[in-house]
Amino acid sequence: MSETTPPERGAAGPSGTVPAPDGPYARYVLGVLVIVYVFNFLDRQILSILNEAIKADLGLRDDQLGFLYGTAFAVFYAVFGLPLGRLADVWDRRRLIAWGLAFWSAMTVLSGFARNFGQLSAARIGVGIGEASASPAAYSMLADYFPAAKRATVLAIYSSGIYIGIGLSLGIGGMIVDRWDTAFADTGPPFGLMGWQVAFFAVGAPGLLLALWVASLREPVRGMADGIYTPPEPHPFRVFFRELRAVVPPFTLLHLWLEKAGPRGFAINLGAAALIALGAWWLATVTGSPAQWIAVGIGLYASASWAQALGMRDRPTFTLLLKTPSVWWTGLGFGLIAFVGYALSYWTAPFFIRTHGMSTANAGFILGGTAASAGFLGIMLGGWVSDWLKQRSPVGRIWVGLFVALVPLPIGYVVFSTEHLWLALLLNFPLVMTTAMWIGPGASTMQDLVLPRMRGACGALFLLMMTFLGLALGPYTVGQISTWMDGNLSYAVLLGLLVNIPAALCLLMCLRTLPGDQTSVLARARAAGESV
């Protein structure tokens, strides 16, 4: 990286006048990006409240609906997040966010035109690819608009869009479905459109206008807030396509050839592909869900190819990430916690509608409000408590993970087994709050296990593990169990909650390995060839 003196505030920069870091314009940009993140989760989460209507209209099974929410979105979100994150490092970030927002909004609108499982799957894949562009570029922009001392607070404010978006998706989706289907129950809806289709139109279309607003933002100078100016990359898309071919099959083989991997490199890659294909075939046969395991197989192969490419170009980073026991225990522990969190995030609304007979509108309003408030409180509390404990113990953040793994078990048991609606709704608040507390502790623990220059790759690995263990498997598995049990979501969710037990066991192992792995980071990096 080339570092030179940054332009003065108010001088001409790459995209016009350079705004002052931490000034009024920086806060304006933060506000706009929070809205973008709200739409990110609004479009992603709305499928939950539409679940019962889509199931009835298209004749889908619970395992297929879990696939649509989790796997179809998650695999392509994670895979394309790797090259799009790299593009955010070398290209105009506001344009990347704007184009991604326009694309995923258009795919959300197209979801409303779907008339079968395949069409809706294709649209959800598109939403996943588009949304992969947002957060890496937003994180980078905000880091240039705000000084290091304020970035944790700024990123927490940005992350509040997660639960605001989830809450709005449930409320808006439930209201539209109930009102639309009731209004045209006797006469038939215009153009034959059902309420769930209109809900997709309603949340997707505004994103196209929001994309124009994002494109009007001023691109900050890279490194301005830190006093380090990084000259623009002259060939940003050349960098992007190099990263893309490293993870997207079958271009992975072309990448190996261009990077001169040799016969051994090809043998490792093709051997991994064969093992993954065999496993995917077996699971598809056992479960009767070929789409699920084909998608997971593609994602796992892309991840393996990414790891192989990382090992070829950056051996120290590869060593610290993939040969450190605490990285694996942390990733597995928090990934399994994410499994339960994503499963609850999707199936809670269908459970209350199906089991307790709540209307879609009431479920959306009450559960949406709970998700927004309890989720926001949980994510903020989890980050604050884990930082406080970390100052007192090198494993302090892991204790928060253990709390998140164990406390939801008795609360969740009551929520999903009681016959009293009011009790289930009341206890759902602490359930949502505790299951949201894992994000900060998990991500920060992983970051402590690498050198500063490796944090981007570390974040990519954390995203992959949380996405595949959590989003790709959690909602689908609960849906598959529900399908086997003739739609009994209560038993399906209760069985899903038990995944927190192996999560706790992984974090207990991490308590043993983490102190040593943290203190030996520099030595192990040097042993792998790092010049520090």
Domains and CATH numbers, the chain: 17-248 (1.20.1250.20), 251-313 (no CATH), 314-532 (1.20.1250.20)
> What is the per-residue pLDDT for 445?
86
> What is the per-residue pLDDT for 227?
64
> What is the per-residue pLDDT for 20?
65
Cα 323 vs. chain centroid, distance in angstroms? 24
pLDDT digits (tens, 9 = 90+) for 363-373: 999 999 999 89
Asked if the model's pLDDT at residue 230 lies above 80, the reply is no
> What is the per-residue pLDDT for 192?
86
The pLDDT of 254-264, averaged and rounded, is 92
In this structure, the number of other CB atoms found within 10 A of the CB of residue 391 comes to: 7
> What is the per-residue pLDDT for 13?
45
pLDDT digits (tens, 9 = 90+) for 292-327: 999 999 999 999 998 998 888 889 989 998 999 999
- Helical spans, DSSP H, in 416-499: 421-435, 439-447, 455-466, 474-484, 489-497
The pLDDT of 166-193, averaged and rounded, is 89
Give the tokens for residue 230: 């990084």
Q: What is the dihedral of CA 505, 506, 512, 514, to 10 degrees?
A: -150
Give the tokens for residue 184: 């045209």
pLDDT digits (tens, 9 = 90+) for 493-524: 999 999 999 999 999 999 999 999 999 988 99
The pLDDT of 403-408, averaged and rounded, is 96
Which of 144-158, 243-257, 474-488 bottoms out in mean pLDDT, i.e. has the lowest? 144-158
Asked if the model's pLDDT at residue 417 lies above 50, the reply is yes
d(CA 21, CA 19): 6
Which of 33-47, 50-64, 137-151, 236-250 bottoms out in mean pLDDT, i.e. has the lowest? 137-151
Q: 15 falls in which pLDDT band (50, 70, 90)? A: very low
d(CA 345, CA 354): 16
| Contact indicator for 378, 432 with CB cutoff of 8 Å | yes
Please provide the average confidence, as pLDDT, over all residues in the chain: 89
> What is the per-residue pLDDT for 223?
67
Q: 110 falls in which pLDDT band (50, 70, 90)? A: very high
> What is the per-residue pLDDT for 19?
67
The pTM (predicted TM-score) of the whole model is: 0.86
C-alpha radius of gyration, the chain, whole number: 23
d(CA 467, CA 379): 18
Q: 1 falls in which pLDDT band (50, 70, 90)? A: very low
The pLDDT of 34-53, averaged and rounded, is 93
d(CA 153, CA 157): 6
Asked if the model's pLDDT at residue 9 lies above 60, the reply is no
Q: 462 falls in which pLDDT band (50, 70, 90)? A: confident
Which of 4-8, 100-104, 358-362 bottoms out in mean pLDDT, i.e. has the lowest? 4-8
The pLDDT of 160-167, averaged and rounded, is 88
The pLDDT of 180-191, averaged and rounded, is 86
> What is the per-residue pLDDT for 274?
97
Cα 448 vs. chain centroid, distance in angstroms? 21
Q: When comparing pLDDT for 140 and 70, which is higher?
A: 70
Asked if the model's pLDDT at residue 117 lies above 90, the reply is yes
Asked if the model's pLDDT at residue 183 lies above 70, the reply is yes
